[in-house]
Amino acid sequence: MEIRTQNGSRVSAVQAEGLIREDERRALATPGVVRDELPELRAVRVALSLLPAGHPVAPVARQSCREFGHQTLHTDAVACGRCWEHAIRADERVVVEFGLTAKDERPDPGYIDVVAVERVIEGEYLPLGSNERDEVIRRMRAQGCGPWTISDRLGESTRTVRQRIDELTGRVQGSQTQLGAAEAAQVA
Protein backbone atom coordinates (compact mmCIF):
# COMPACT_ATOMS: atom_id res chain seq x y z
CA MET A 1 0.00 0.00 0.00
CA GLU A 2 1.22 3.46 -0.89
CA ILE A 3 0.20 6.91 0.25
CA ARG A 4 -0.48 9.62 -2.26
CA THR A 5 1.42 12.86 -1.59
CA GLN A 6 0.13 16.36 -2.31
CA ASN A 7 2.08 16.56 -5.52
CA GLY A 8 0.46 13.35 -6.71
CA SER A 9 3.41 11.00 -6.32
CA ARG A 10 3.23 7.98 -4.05
CA VAL A 11 5.26 6.88 -1.08
CA SER A 12 5.41 3.43 0.50
CA ALA A 13 6.19 2.73 4.15
CA VAL A 14 9.66 1.52 3.22
CA GLN A 15 10.36 4.63 1.13
CA ALA A 16 9.03 6.80 3.97
CA GLU A 17 11.45 5.17 6.41
CA GLY A 18 14.30 5.78 3.95
CA LEU A 19 13.36 9.45 3.65
CA ILE A 20 13.32 9.89 7.43
CA ARG A 21 16.68 8.14 7.88
CA GLU A 22 18.21 10.23 5.09
CA ASP A 23 16.81 13.41 6.64
CA GLU A 24 18.17 12.42 10.06
CA ARG A 25 21.62 11.91 8.56
CA ARG A 26 21.50 15.34 7.01
CA ALA A 27 20.50 16.76 10.38
CA LEU A 28 23.44 15.04 12.07
CA ALA A 29 25.81 16.30 9.39
CA THR A 30 24.77 19.92 10.02
CA PRO A 31 24.30 20.18 13.80
CA GLY A 32 22.71 23.29 15.18
CA VAL A 33 21.24 24.24 11.82
CA VAL A 34 17.48 24.56 11.77
CA ARG A 35 16.44 23.03 8.47
CA ASP A 36 13.24 23.12 6.49
CA GLU A 37 10.65 20.52 7.24
CA LEU A 38 10.91 17.38 5.12
CA PRO A 39 8.78 17.81 1.98
CA GLU A 40 5.48 15.92 2.11
CA LEU A 41 6.04 15.15 5.79
CA ARG A 42 2.34 14.55 6.32
CA ALA A 43 2.14 11.84 3.66
CA VAL A 44 5.46 10.40 4.86
CA ARG A 45 4.08 10.03 8.39
CA VAL A 46 0.89 8.40 7.15
CA ALA A 47 3.04 5.95 5.18
CA LEU A 48 5.16 5.25 8.29
CA SER A 49 2.04 4.27 10.22
CA LEU A 50 1.76 1.32 7.83
CA LEU A 51 5.07 -0.20 8.99
CA PRO A 52 4.60 -3.73 10.37
CA ALA A 53 4.71 -4.93 13.97
CA GLY A 54 7.80 -7.00 13.14
CA HIS A 55 9.88 -3.91 12.36
CA PRO A 56 13.01 -3.61 14.58
CA VAL A 57 11.90 -0.29 16.11
CA ALA A 58 8.22 -1.26 16.42
CA PRO A 59 8.43 -1.87 20.20
CA VAL A 60 9.88 1.63 20.73
CA ALA A 61 7.27 3.28 18.52
CA ARG A 62 4.43 1.30 20.11
CA GLN A 63 5.46 2.09 23.67
CA SER A 64 5.85 5.80 23.04
CA CYS A 65 2.52 5.99 21.22
CA ARG A 66 0.68 4.17 24.01
CA GLU A 67 2.28 6.26 26.73
CA PHE A 68 1.11 9.42 25.04
CA GLY A 69 -2.31 7.98 24.22
CA HIS A 70 -2.09 8.93 20.55
CA GLN A 71 -4.75 8.07 18.04
CA THR A 72 -3.68 5.96 15.08
CA LEU A 73 -5.29 6.03 11.66
CA HIS A 74 -6.01 2.30 11.69
CA THR A 75 -7.02 0.33 14.76
CA ASP A 76 -4.39 -2.30 14.04
CA ALA A 77 -1.53 0.18 13.49
CA VAL A 78 1.49 -0.34 15.75
CA ALA A 79 1.93 3.40 16.34
CA CYS A 80 1.08 6.75 14.81
CA GLY A 81 3.35 8.17 12.11
CA ARG A 82 5.03 10.64 14.41
CA CYS A 83 5.96 7.99 16.98
CA TRP A 84 7.34 5.84 14.17
CA GLU A 85 9.31 8.85 12.93
CA HIS A 86 10.68 9.54 16.40
CA ALA A 87 11.74 5.90 16.87
CA ILE A 88 13.34 5.70 13.40
CA ARG A 89 15.26 8.94 13.89
CA ALA A 90 16.54 7.73 17.27
CA ASP A 91 17.58 4.45 15.68
CA GLU A 92 19.34 6.22 12.83
CA ARG A 93 21.31 8.32 15.31
CA VAL A 94 22.54 5.13 16.97
CA VAL A 95 23.48 3.69 13.58
CA VAL A 96 25.42 6.82 12.69
CA GLU A 97 27.07 7.15 16.07
CA PHE A 98 28.26 3.58 16.40
CA GLY A 99 28.68 2.51 12.82
CA LEU A 100 29.61 5.26 10.50
CA THR A 101 30.75 8.30 12.39
CA ALA A 102 34.30 8.79 13.62
CA LYS A 103 34.63 9.58 17.30
CA ASP A 104 35.53 13.21 16.70
CA GLU A 105 32.50 13.65 14.47
CA ARG A 106 29.91 12.67 17.05
CA PRO A 107 26.55 14.38 16.88
CA ASP A 108 26.89 17.87 18.24
CA PRO A 109 25.01 18.88 21.41
CA GLY A 110 23.58 21.60 19.18
CA TYR A 111 21.51 18.95 17.44
CA ILE A 112 17.76 19.65 17.46
CA ASP A 113 15.24 16.80 17.48
CA VAL A 114 12.40 18.56 15.66
CA VAL A 115 9.88 15.85 16.46
CA ALA A 116 10.56 16.14 20.19
CA VAL A 117 10.27 19.93 19.89
CA GLU A 118 6.88 19.60 18.16
CA ARG A 119 5.64 17.17 20.77
CA VAL A 120 6.59 19.43 23.66
CA ILE A 121 4.86 22.36 21.97
CA GLU A 122 1.75 20.21 21.69
CA GLY A 123 1.82 19.59 25.41
CA GLU A 124 3.74 16.36 25.97
CA TYR A 125 6.55 16.19 28.45
CA LEU A 126 9.87 15.10 26.96
CA PRO A 127 13.40 15.81 28.15
CA LEU A 128 14.98 18.36 25.80
CA GLY A 129 18.50 19.67 25.34
CA SER A 130 19.14 23.39 25.76
CA ASN A 131 19.12 24.00 21.99
CA GLU A 132 15.80 22.21 21.73
CA ARG A 133 14.35 24.28 24.57
CA ASP A 134 15.46 27.39 22.69
CA GLU A 135 13.77 26.06 19.58
CA VAL A 136 10.52 25.55 21.54
CA ILE A 137 10.76 29.17 22.69
CA ARG A 138 11.45 30.43 19.14
CA ARG A 139 8.59 28.48 17.61
CA MET A 140 6.09 29.35 20.31
CA ARG A 141 7.06 33.02 20.14
CA ALA A 142 6.53 32.87 16.37
CA GLN A 143 3.05 31.49 17.08
CA GLY A 144 2.39 34.45 19.35
CA CYS A 145 2.66 32.58 22.66
CA GLY A 146 3.66 34.55 25.75
CA PRO A 147 6.24 33.56 28.38
CA TRP A 148 3.58 32.09 30.65
CA THR A 149 2.39 29.57 28.05
CA ILE A 150 5.96 28.71 27.07
CA SER A 151 7.04 28.19 30.69
CA ASP A 152 4.07 25.87 31.16
CA ARG A 153 5.22 23.69 28.23
CA LEU A 154 8.86 23.67 29.25
CA GLY A 155 8.18 23.18 32.96
CA GLU A 156 10.35 26.18 33.79
CA SER A 157 9.58 29.36 35.68
CA THR A 158 8.13 32.28 33.74
CA ARG A 159 11.10 34.33 34.90
CA THR A 160 13.60 31.87 33.41
CA VAL A 161 11.70 31.79 30.13
CA ARG A 162 11.49 35.58 29.95
CA GLN A 163 15.19 35.87 30.59
CA ARG A 164 15.89 33.39 27.80
CA ILE A 165 13.56 35.23 25.41
CA ASP A 166 15.47 38.42 26.17
CA GLU A 167 18.76 36.67 25.49
CA LEU A 168 17.51 35.11 22.27
CA THR A 169 16.10 38.37 20.98
CA GLY A 170 19.16 40.33 22.07
CA ARG A 171 17.23 42.46 24.52
CA VAL A 172 18.87 43.74 27.66
CA GLN A 173 17.82 41.59 30.59
CA GLY A 174 15.00 43.05 32.64
CA SER A 175 14.04 45.69 30.09
CA GLN A 176 10.31 45.15 30.51
CA THR A 177 9.45 48.36 28.74
CA GLN A 178 10.23 46.69 25.42
CA LEU A 179 7.52 44.09 25.91
CA GLY A 180 4.28 44.76 24.07
CA ALA A 181 1.14 45.43 26.11
CA ALA A 182 -0.44 42.07 25.32
CA GLU A 183 2.76 40.30 26.21
CA ALA A 184 3.14 42.19 29.47
CA ALA A 185 -0.41 41.18 30.37
CA GLN A 186 0.48 37.55 29.80
CA VAL A 187 3.58 37.83 31.93
CA ALA A 188 1.49 39.23 34.78
Nearest to 1 by CA among 99, 75, 74: 74
Minimum distance of Zn ion from residue 80's CB (angstroms): 3
Contact string 66-85 vs Zn ion (x = CB under 5 A): ----x---------x--x--
Can you tell me the distance from the alpha carbon of 89 to that of 23, in angstroms, rounded to the nearest whole number?
Answer: 9
User: Which residue's CB is nearer to Zn ion, number 61 or number 96?
Assistant: 61
User: Which residue's CB is nearer to Zn ion, number 55 or number 162?
Assistant: 55
Minimum distance of Zn ion from residue 72's CB (angstroms): 7
Can you tell me the distance from the alpha carbon of 158 to that of 176, in angstroms, rounded to the nearest whole number?
Answer: 13
Contact string 27-66 vs Zn ion (x = CB under 5 A): --------------------------------------x-
State the number of binding residues for Zn ion (CB under 5 A).
4
Restricting to residues 80-119, name those near Zn ion by CB under 5 A: 80, 83
Q: Please compute, for residue 10, the number of CA atoms within 13 A of its CA located in the half-sphere on the CB side.
A: 4
Minimum distance of Zn ion from residue 135's CB (angstroms): 20
Minimum distance of Zn ion from residue 178's CB (angstroms): 40
Cα distances from 101 to residues 20, 32, 94, 158, 173, in angstroms, run: 18, 17, 10, 39, 40
Can you tell me the distance from the alpha carbon of 172 to that of 164, in angstroms, rounded to the nearest whole number?
Answer: 11
| E strand spans, the chain | 2-4, 10-12
CB 178 within 8 A of CB 154: no
Minimum distance of Zn ion from residue 88's CB (angstroms): 13
Minimum distance of Zn ion from residue 36's CB (angstroms): 23
CB atoms within 10 A of CB 60: 18
Restricting to residues 134-153, name those near Zn ion by CB under 5 A: none
Decide: residue 1, CB within 10 A, 0-12 exposed, 13-18 middle, 19+ buried. exposed
User: Which residue's CB is nearer to Zn ion, number 19 or number 80?
Assistant: 80
User: Which residue's CB is nearer to Zn ion, number 65 or number 161?
Assistant: 65
By the criterion CB under 5 A, which residues form the site for Zn ion?
A: 65, 70, 80, 83
